[in-house]
Amino acid sequence: MKVVEAFNKGTPSLSFEFFPPKTTEQEAKLFEAIDRLKKFDPNFVSVTYGAMGRTREKTFFWVGEIKNKHGVEPVAHLTCVAATKDDIARQLNELAKIGVENILALRGDPPAGEKDFVPPANGFRLAKELIAFIKQTKPGFCVGAAGFPETHPAAPSVYKDTEFLKEKVEAGAEYIITQLFFDNRRYFEFVGRCEKAGITVPIIPGLMPITNLHQIKKMTETCGATLPGELLEKLEKHPADTAKIGAEHTLAQAKGLLKSGVKGLHFFVMNQAEPISQILSELKK
C-alpha cells in the first residue's frame, strides 16, 4: 500500500517512527514496541538511519520484518549521507525486492562536529536531487519529504526554506512529514506558508512526547524546534513528572490538530510504546 492512500480515506492517518536499535536487546524492544502499538492500527511505520547511514543494511532488514512478519506497512528512510548514485540505485532494487513501496527521502545530517554537509563523490547534495533520482529510477515508489515548521537550521530564511520544500515537491515528493514541534501555532503557520507557496501535498504533523528533558533539549537544538516557555518551566520545576507532563502536552497537541482537520498524526516513538499507548487510548475516549 502506498501511504498517500491513507491520507485520502476521510479519517486521519496514524503513523509511528522508530530509531535504529544498537544491540540485540534493543532490537527485541523495537519489535515489542511495534507489536504493542499495532492494536491502534497504524497506517505505516518507519525506522530511521543511524549516524552516517551506518545502520542502513539493518534498517532494510527491519523494514522487511515489519512488513512481512508484523503485517504493518513500512516506510524506508533514504539519505544522501555516504551514498553514491550507484549505492542508491542498489538500495532501491533491494527495497523493491522485499516489497517496500514507500520511502522518506532526506538529505541527512553532517557528521558530529561538522557544520556543513559534504556529499560523497557521485552522490547527492540535496534531498530534492535524491527525490528526483528515486522517481526517475523507480517511479512506482511513493516518496515523502521532511518539513520544518520552525525552519531548517541551515536555511538562510523562512522564505527560502519554504522555497526549498516546494522544490522537493516539484521533484516528486508526494507528502510531507514535519519535524517535531511543541506549539501547534508553529504547524499552522508552516502550513499557511506552504499553501501560499503553492504546496498542495498532505502535510502530516510530527509529534514527540517528552520523556527526558535533557534529551529533548539536545534534539531541539539540532532540529531548530523550540520548547514553549510555560512547558519548559513546568518540566524544570517537576522533573519527577517529566513523562506525565510530556504525555499531557502531546495529547493536547493531538486533540487540537485533529480538531483542525489534519490528514494524519505521526508520532516519534523513540522505541517507547507506553507514552504513545497512553496518548492514543485517551484520544479514543
Residue 27, pLDDT score: 87
The parent domain of residue 96 ranges over 3-284
> Which of 27-31, 41-45, 164-168 has the least mean pLDDT?
27-31
Chain segment 251-277, per-residue pLDDT in tens: 999 999 999 999 999 999 988 999 999
CATH number assigned to the domain comprising residue 104 = 3.20.20.220
Over residues 78-92, mean pLDDT: 90
CB 26 within 8 A of CB 224: no
The per-residue pLDDT of the chain, averaged, comes to 92
Active site members: 17
Q: For residue 53, is pLDDT > 50?
A: no
The total domain count for the chain is: 1
- d(CA 198, CA 195) in angstroms, rounded, equals 5
Ramachandran category for residue 124: left, alpha or beta (phi over 0 → left; psi -120 to 50 → alpha) = beta
* Burial class, 285, CB count within 10 angstroms (exposed 0-12 / middle 13-18 / buried 19+): exposed
Residue 285, pLDDT score: 78
Chain segment 101-154, per-residue pLDDT in tens: 999 999 876 655 566 667 778 889 899 999 999 999 999 999 999 999 999 988
Chain segment 226-239, per-residue pLDDT in tens: 999 999 999 999 99
Residue 52, pLDDT score: 44
Residue 113, pLDDT score: 57
